[in-house]
């Protein structure tokens, strides 16, 4: 019996390195999860709409320097009723007049061209281009954020599943201990109290395992949400195939190259163009126009012999703002304040990224040290359990000692599993803070 329990303990320690997949469902690797999320996550679809809107704004900005041509047709019918008199100096006089009607038809071509508008025709297309850069960087930042959420949920699911295996092995040990206590009691070498304690211990382990299954169900929902899928869909993950130590960066990258910093610079470039556009309100505007129009009571004469009965007009309009109720000054002040806000937000962003880098690096360092200690602690706990079992076999130990040693073994193994997968999560967080998460875990960051 003693050898059987020891063999079972070693088997449980070995099972910590692998995850048991459900054969009825295909297991997803980390790369599978990342590719799935990057193909159809709602956050990415939302970010892509920003790119589409920015491209549409770029096309709209072209209207500031392209000419405009309008064609216009008019057809009117005027009916005047019959009357018998008119009033002249408040005196009514007989003036009979029959009812009549007038028809009037018109056609015109109107061409207008912006000549000068305070350089808006330069800054509006440039602003649209900067806004497109910002939208594309926002997509890249969103991809990194989605990737981090996927990796956190993926490793979290692996962690709780491995912890469930530890609890299952603990339950098996409790069952073995209960069987041993019953056998000793039957042979008269043990008391009924040992059987009762073993039974209570097995019940506690069953409760812990059932609660762990509840945690697994919740984490599966989190993974589905991270993947952008229906939370109720079944999901299974494959054993981890990446090495946290191998993917942990040794040095910290330059923050100046970070995607979030680049997006902030793009936002500042947009704010710069907004300042220029606001200042354009203090410049005069110059526009020119040419129009060709025709009007006649007879319809066919309007749309024939276009070299006759026409009016050709040339116009040049110059407008200089003298006083606009300080509207231009307020727009300039608001645009400059927004530009300064973007700059200060970048400073705050740099501090936050630096803090994330420092925290993630420190977390990796300490988790590595803790992991080595916990591996030795698992071995010590296994030795302690074996010793308690041997003492119990020769009548020197008690069932309570075995239960305490078993609980210590389970706690040590649970802690070792948690640290091992927390190390993976910390490595992913450090790569996210560096801005190279997908580049590291997915080839060139492409789905």
Residue 254 has a pLDDT of: 63
Tell me the mean pLDDT in the region 278-305: 89
On the question of pLDDT at 408 being above 60, the answer is yes
pLDDT tier, 9 (very low <50, low <70, confident <90, very high otherwise): very low
pLDDT tier, 233 (very low <50, low <70, confident <90, very high otherwise): very high
Tell me the mean pLDDT in the region 271-285: 92
pLDDT tier, 239 (very low <50, low <70, confident <90, very high otherwise): confident
Structure confidence by residue, pLDDT tens digits, 139-193: 999 999 999 999 999 999 999 999 999 999 989 988 888 888 788 778 777 778 8
**Using CA atoms, how far apart are residues 228 and 225, in angstroms rounded to an integer?**
5
Structure confidence by residue, pLDDT tens digits, 348-393: 999 999 898 889 889 988 999 998 999 999 999 989 888 888 887 7
On the question of pLDDT at 417 being above 90, the answer is yes
Residue pair 105/296 in contact by the 8 Å Cβ criterion = yes
Residue 187 has a pLDDT of: 79
- Kindly give, in sequence order, each residue whose CB lies less than 8 Å from that of residue 69, ignoring residues fewer than 6 positions away: 109, 110, 111
Please state the domain extents for the chain: 2-445
Structure confidence by residue, pLDDT tens digits, 307-350: 888 899 999 999 998 888 888 899 999 999 999 999 999 999 99
Residue with tokens 């530009």: 339
pLDDT tier, 6 (very low <50, low <70, confident <90, very high otherwise): very low
Residue 248 has a pLDDT of: 55
Residue 24 has a pLDDT of: 53
Structure confidence by residue, pLDDT tens digits, 13-59: 444 444 454 555 578 999 999 999 999 899 999 999 999 999 999 98
On the question of pLDDT at 250 being above 70, the answer is no
Residue 251 has a pLDDT of: 52
pLDDT above 90 as % of the chain: 49
On the question of pLDDT at 446 being above 50, the answer is no
What is the CATH code for 2-445? 1.20.1600.10
Q: What is the mean pLDDT of the chain?
A: 85
pLDDT tier, 210 (very low <50, low <70, confident <90, very high otherwise): very high
Structure confidence by residue, pLDDT tens digits, 72-107: 998 888 887 777 777 776 777 776 777 777 888 899
């Amino acid at each position: 019996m003693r050898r059987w329990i020891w063999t079972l303990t070693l088997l449980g320690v070995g099972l910590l390195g692998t995850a048991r997949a459900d054969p009825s469902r295909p297991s997803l690797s980390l790369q599978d999860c990342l590719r799935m999320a990057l193909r159809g996550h709602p956050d990415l679809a939302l970010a892509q709409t920003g790119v589409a809107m920015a491209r549409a704004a770029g096309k709209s900005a072209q209207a500031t320097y392209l000419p405009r041509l309008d064609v216009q047709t008019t057809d009117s019918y005027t009916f005047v009723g019959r009357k018998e008199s008119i009033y002249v100096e408040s005196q009514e006089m007989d003036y009979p007049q029959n009812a009549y009607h007038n028809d009037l038809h018109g056609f015109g071509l109107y061409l207008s061209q912006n000549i000068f508008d305070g350089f808006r025709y330069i800054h509006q297309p440039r602003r649209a281009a900067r806004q497109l850069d910002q939208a594309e960087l926002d997509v890249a930042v969103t991809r990194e954020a989605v990737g981090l959420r996927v990796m956190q949920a993926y490793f979290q699911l692996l962690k709780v599943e491995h912890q469930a295996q530890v609890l299952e092995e603990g339950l098996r040990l409790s069952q073995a201990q209960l069987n041993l206590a019953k056998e000793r009691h039957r042979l008269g070498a043990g008391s009924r109290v040992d059987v009762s304690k073993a039974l209570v211990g097995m019940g506690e382990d069953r409760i812990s395992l059932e609660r762990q299954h509840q945690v697994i169900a919740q984490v599966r929902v989190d993974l589905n949400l991270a993947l952008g899928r229906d939370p109720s869909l079944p999901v299974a993950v494959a054993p981890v195939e990446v090495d946290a130590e191998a993917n942990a960066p040794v040095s910290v990258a330059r923050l100046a190259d970070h995607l979030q910093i680049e997006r902030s610079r793009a936002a500042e470039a947009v704010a710069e163009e907004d300042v220029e556009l606001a200042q354009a309100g203090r410049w005069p505007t110059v526009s020119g126009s040419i129009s060709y129009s025709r009007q006649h009571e007879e319809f066919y004469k309007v749309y024939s012999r276009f070299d006759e009965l026409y009016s050709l007009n040339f116009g040049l309009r110059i407008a200089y703002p003298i006083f606009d109720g300080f509207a231009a000054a307020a727009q300039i002040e608001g645009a400059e304040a927004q530009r300064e806000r973007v700059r200060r937000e970048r400073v705050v962003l740099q501090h936050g990224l630096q803090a994330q880098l420092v925290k993630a690096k420190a977390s990796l360092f300490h988790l590595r040290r803790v992991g080595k200690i916990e591996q030795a602690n698992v071995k010590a706990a296994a030795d302690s359990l074996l010793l308690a079992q041997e003492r119990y076999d020769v009548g020197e130990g008690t069932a309570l000692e075995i239960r305490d040693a078993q609980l210590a073994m389970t706690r040590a193994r649970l802690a070792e599993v948690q640290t091992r997968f927390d190390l993976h999560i910390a490595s992913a967080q450090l790569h996210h803070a560096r801005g190279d998460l997908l580049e590291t875990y997915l080839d060139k960051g492409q789905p």
